[in-house]
Amino acid sequence: MSLNLTKTFLLVCSIIFIDQSTKYLAVKFLAPDGTINLLPFLNLVYVENKGSAFGMFKFLGSEFFIFIAIIVTFFLIYMYLKDSKNWFIYSIIFAGALGNTIDRVVYGHVVDFIDLYIGKFHWPAFNVADSAITVGLILFLYKSLKK
């Protein structure tokens, strides 16, 4: 097994483990209506997200998003094979997509629990998988625009 493939496997497994562990804790300790105030800008909450980012398109159903995740997975594998020097970017996006897909298969929705806010403005709740996808996409855009 190549070094990048080993690192990819370990990174993906680590992100999925952290994602699924934190979601398990959110389900166990926050569901259905719990809130924990951690900092003046951060709460832990329990949200069942049946849509995509920010809860959009929930009318499409979990099956649609599972199908999209399968397409994204094949695309990321293709990109990884074509451009393995950016293995880290593809790995964290893949891990995030897989973490949320596991939720859709197990729960029928994605478990979100991180609530960032300023005053009365709350960013839509998110999770570790969403964070991995976001960081991966930002890095991908940065590297793409840098060329």
pLDDT tens by residue, 105-125: 999 999 999 999 999 999 999
pTM score of the predicted model:
0.89
Is 130 an active-site residue? yes
DSSP 109: S
Number of domains in the chain: 1
**Could you list the residue range(s) of the whole structural domain that residue 75 is in?**
3-146
Q: How far apart are CA 81 and CA 100, in angstroms?
A: 23
Is 112 an active-site residue? yes
* In the predicted structure, residue 54 carries a pLDDT above the cut 70: no
Q: Identify the active-site residue in 19, 103, 112, 115.
A: 112
Q: Identify the active-site residue in 19, 103, 115, 130.
A: 130
85-97 pLDDT per residue, tens: 999 999 999 999 9
